[in-house]
Amino acid sequence: MDKLLIRGGRALHGEVLVSGAKNAALPELCAALLTADPVTLLNVPRLQDVSTMLKLIRNMGVAAERADDGTVRIDASALSTPEAPYELVKTMRASVLALGPLLARFGEATVSLPGGCAIGSRPVDQHIKGMAAMGAEIVVEHGYMIAKLPTGWTRLKGARITTDMVTVTGTENFLMAAALAEGETVLENAAQEPEISDLAEMLIAMGAKIEGHGTSRIRIQGVEKLHGCTHRVVADRIEAGTFLCAVAATGGDVVLRHGRADHLDAVIDKLREAGADVQAVEGGIRVQSAGGATLKAQGFRTTEYPGFPTDMQAQFMALDCVAQGTATVTETIFENRFMHVNELLRLGAKIQVDGKVAVIEGVGTAGRLSGATVMATDLRASASLVIAGLVATGETVVDRIYHLDRGYDCMEAKLRGIGADIERIR
């Protein structure tokens, strides 16, 4: 099992190329199932979750070719098995995104209940509710969602769908299903993440009629057929945010090529309040910092986009650990997303947790974190431990980094390229 060995204390300088977004690539791979025409995706990141999704759609009978330059070509004309089995999706919650496309194009789908990181429950009831509103008959049996159209129906029917909570994968599933439904679908309380807008732009390029993406109300006028397209996956804002926090904590001067500052307003505002200099530049984002000990710890509350993202909570907490002062962090999205705290404590962090609230006392000028062996518990927790290790004195070993590989494309190579002393060991 691979580990990362980090020797901390180095400032970071240079450029990092931000990869395509995992949370855009996964639904867009599923969107390719909506047409029998070839689809080409550019800038697809090299991640374990992407490999799993490709394996999943190939298992359905789809031809999918992946090139070294991040290009993926998909041909779903021969799709023969509209099923996502547990064996292929047990490590990835994005498997639920196959439900909408399969149901919309083939009138049936059998999709395993999703897995993924153990950071909290992710009920699929909102997905079931939305598909049922469009006329699907769905039951959950033996760990699977089994969906089909009513007898005599050839297409789903447009509907007004109002979810009980903001759900990213739910919004994506409804977008894809509604694109081929009969009539108009209106999504109320829709998620507004940039990845959803990117998916909508891909669907529009395929012939879908969508308005309002990027807002809480999306209108989709269903069409009978979608065609192929070529689409470039949007840059990964969470990867960019992770590197922003890493440079702020270690100190240095780094430009994130392809980074989108307009997708990271909440994170960048907090970094500036902490004392880092973050600016949008042509073709990316530039971050300059004198290091964590010169920064002021910042409290925040995670919430749906455009608020502070839950996927950045652990990384910013690592920054707070090495800053000056005390910060309060409230996690409102997932109930188990403080599992990195115990590992940060092993490095010398000062954190107290009470339910959904963590209070971080930054070590600041009083001292530094100290290297130790720590264990990654989920994807973003892995990134927080890497950031802490980059700052800590001595050697830090991060174990179970298969979590990291699910969401970061060659993270250690990118960090090494800007001056970090980090290597993968087996």
Numbered residues of the known binding site: 22-23, 93, 122-126, 311, 333
Q: Give the whole-angstrom CA distance, residue 250 versus residue 124.
A: 40
Q: Give the whole-angstrom CA distance, residue 321 versus residue 385.
A: 11
Query: What residues form the annotated binding site for UDP-N-acetyl-alpha-D-glucosamine?
Result: 93, 122-126, 311, 333
At 17, the amino acid letter reads L
The SS3 call for residue 75 is: strand
Query: What residues form the annotated binding site for phosphoenolpyruvate?
Result: 22-23
Pairing of strands 39-42, 72-75: antiparallel
**117: annotated active-site residue:** yes
Q: 30, 117, 245, 321: which one is catalytic? A: 117
Token code pair at residue 243: 């590197």
Burial class (CB in 10 A: 0-12, 13-18, 19+), 175: buried
Token code pair at residue 398: 């991060």
CB 257 within 8 A of CB 18: yes
- How many residues does the structure list for the chain? 426
CB 100 within 8 A of CB 131: yes
CB 25 within 8 A of CB 51: no
Comparing CA positions, the residue from 359, 365, 250, 363 lying closest to residue 299 is 359
Q: Give the whole-angstrom CA distance, residue 7 versus residue 61.
A: 46
Comparing CA positions, the residue from 373, 375, 372, 305 lying closest to residue 340 is 375
CB 76 within 8 A of CB 57: yes
Residue 397: enclosing H or E segment and its boundaries?
A: strand 395-399
Residues known to be catalytic: 117
